[in-house]
Amino acid sequence: MADAVLFEFLHTEMVAELWAQDPDPDPGPGGQKMSLSVLEGMGFRVGQAMAERLPRETLAFREELDVLKFLCKDLWVAVFQKQMDSLRTNHQGTYVLQDNSFPLLIRMSSGLQYLEEAPKFLAFTCGILRGALSTLGIKSLVTASVAALPACKFQVVIQRC
Q: Which residues are CB-contacts of 46 (< 8 A; sequence separation ≥ 6)? A: 124, 127, 128, 131
Share of the chain above pLDDT 70, in %: 86
Whether residue 43 contacts residue 36, with contact meaning beta carbons closer than 8 Å, is answered with no
Residues 44-83: b if buried by 16+ CB within 10 A, e if exposed? bebbbebbeebeeeeeeeeebeebbebbbeebbeebbeee
Q: What is the pTM of this model?
A: 0.85
pLDDT at 82: 93
Confidence label for 34 from pLDDT (cuts 50, 70 and 90): confident
Average pLDDT over residues 12-39: 71
Q: How far is CA 145 from the centre of its chain?
A: 11
pLDDT tens digits, one per residue of 44-57: 999 999 988 876 66
pLDDT at 141: 97
pLDDT tens digits, one per residue of 129-156: 999 999 988 999 999 999 888 999 999 9
Residue 51: name the closest of 82, 75, 79 by CA: 75
- Structural domains present in the chain: 4-21+28-158 (3.30.1380.20)
Is residue 25 pLDDT above 60, yes or no? no
d(CA 117, CA 136): 31
Residue 94, φ and ψ in degrees, nearest 5: -115, 130
- Range list of H helices, the chain: 2-20, 28-52, 64-70, 76-80, 123-135
pLDDT tens digits, one per residue of 41-100: 999 999 999 988 876 666 667 789 999 999 999 899 989 999 999 999 999 999 999 999
d(CA 106, CA 129): 20
